[in-house]
């Protein structure tokens, strides 16, 4: 079974107009249009590569007592892990959906403006990957971390696990769309914190700020794309989308302890089991790093909460029930 045909209903003209304006503004807003960052020239080894407060174990007594050299390596590894995860988000979550939009594989997307905007967004995502690859390589080289290996992230594993639960292609596409929408709509404080942290490596701040500026536009793009696509789904498809839309919030909130356990072991940190064990026992996810109020607002605007299934799906995960009720 395939997704609904594109022409079952008329398009939301307001959404298309907004998307058209966003597409036309790309040449002036896209960071790929700026001069390329000279990473090697800007990198300053006297600055930390990451922020202590962004580590999931930054308050653990064992971390607080470490020497400066070990702390520097852990922070640099945090920067590498953060950016490797960014690459996964751009390459495995956002880009596949952009390709589906370009080929009009999602309902309501057989439209030149949408295809054009998806192509521009795909360029943005490719540039983000290039930027973080360059900054990560310089960081690895400067800190002696070229051999640091990272396992697969919980985020990607959870998406693939959810996709594998369904037999129909349309269901798999809507799961990936939900993950993409959540990624582009919710606000992670990592970007703003890193972009404005004076004590952090200058090139890391610049790279993060470039990314942040693009994401401000992407949020508006995917809000309006979601409205357009949802408008063209069948009732069955809308019901399914409502059920899977809140799931990625938890996937993005994973503290990635498997990744951190692997990193700390490679750094020969002798308290790895104790630190990871204590933090894992406290919580596997941290929703404090995610402002998902924009997702709740979008769900309300789209009409998710007009459906019983939509209300139920957002009430099931206990962690977002308060925000849901506060917004309705």
Comparing CA positions, the residue from 26, 70, 22 lying closest to residue 48 is 70
Give the integer Cα–Cα distance in Å for 202 and 204: 5
- 255-300 per-position pLDDT tens digit: 999 999 999 999 999 999 999 999 999 999 988 877 888 899 999 9
Minimal CA–CA distance to 232: which of 170, 295, 311, 293?
A: 170
Cβ proximity of 175 and 244 under 8 Å: yes
pLDDT in tens, 198-210: 889 988 998 998 8
What sections of the chain are H helices per DSSP?
13-24, 26-29, 39-42, 61-64, 68-88, 95-102, 112-143, 154-164, 169-185, 189-195, 202-232, 235-244, 247-252, 257-266, 272-282, 293-302, 308-315, 321-326
For the domain made up of 13-237+248-285, give the CATH fold: Ribonucleotide Reductase, subunit A (1.10.620)
Range scoring the smallest mean pLDDT among 7-11, 57-61, 111-115: 7-11
On the CB side of 261, CA atoms within 13 Å amount to: 16
- The token duo for 93 is 């979550």
Contacting residues for 2 by C-beta, under 8 A, at least 6 apart: 169, 170
> Where do we find the tokens 């960014």?
86
pLDDT of residue 12 exceeding 70, the answer is: no
Of the chain, the percentage scoring pLDDT greater than 90 comes to: 71
Q: State the Cα torsion 313-315-321-327 to the nearest 10°.
A: 70
Q: Tokens 């054009």 label which residue?
A: 116
pLDDT reported for residue 42: 82
pLDDT score at 324 = 46
Which of 76, 204, 43 is CA-nearest to residue 146? 76
Contact between 185 and 223 (Cβ < 8 Å): yes
> DSSP per residue over 98-166, as a string?
HHHHHTT-STT--SHHHHHHHHHHHHHHHHHHHHHHHHHHHHHHHHT-TT------HHHHHHHHHHHT-
- Segment 127-151 mean pLDDT: 96
On the question of pLDDT at 17 being above 60, the answer is yes
> Residue ranges per domain, the chain?
13-237+248-285
């Amino acid at each position: 079974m395939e997704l609904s045909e594109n022409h079952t209903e008329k398009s939301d003209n307001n959404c298309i107009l907004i998307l058209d304006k966003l597409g036309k503004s790309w040449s002036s807003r896209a960071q790929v249009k700026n001069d390329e960052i000279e990473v090697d020239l800007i990198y300053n080894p006297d600055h930390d590569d990451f922020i202590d407060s962004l580590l999931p174990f930054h308050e653990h007594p064992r971390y607080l007592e470490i020497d400066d050299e070990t702390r520097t390596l852990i922070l640099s590894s945090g920067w590498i892990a953060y950016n490797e995860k960014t690459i996964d988000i751009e390459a495995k979550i956002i880009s596949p959906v952009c390709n589906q939009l370009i080929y009009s594989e999602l309902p309501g997307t057989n439209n030149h403006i949408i295809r054009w905007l998806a192509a521009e967004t795909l360029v943005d995502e490719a540039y983000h990957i290039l930027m973080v690859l360059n900054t990560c390589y310089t960081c690895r080289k400067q800190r002696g971390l070229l051999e640091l290996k990272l396992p697969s992230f919980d985020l990607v594993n959870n998406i693939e696990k959810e996709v594998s639960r369904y037999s129909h292609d349309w269901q798999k596409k809507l799961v990936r769309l939900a993950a993409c929408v959540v990624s582009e709509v919710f606000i992670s404080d990592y970007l703003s914190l890193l972009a404005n942290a004076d004590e952090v490596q200058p090139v890391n701040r610049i790279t993060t700020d470039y990314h942040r500026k693009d994401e401000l536009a992407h949020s508006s793009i995917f809000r309006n794309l979601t409205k357009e696509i949802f408008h063209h789904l069948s009732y069955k498809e809308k019901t399914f989308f409502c059920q899977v839309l809140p799931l990625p919030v938890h996937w993005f909130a994973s503290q990635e302890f498997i990744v951190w356990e692997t990193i700390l072991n490679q750094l020969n940190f002798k308290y790895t089991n104790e630190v990871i064990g204590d933090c894992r026992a406290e919580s596997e996810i941290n929703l404090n790093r995610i402002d998902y109020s924009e997702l709740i607002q979008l769900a309300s605007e789209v009409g998710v909460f007009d459906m019983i299934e939509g209300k139920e799906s957002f009430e099931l995960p206990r962690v977002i029930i308060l925000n849901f009720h506060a917004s309705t």
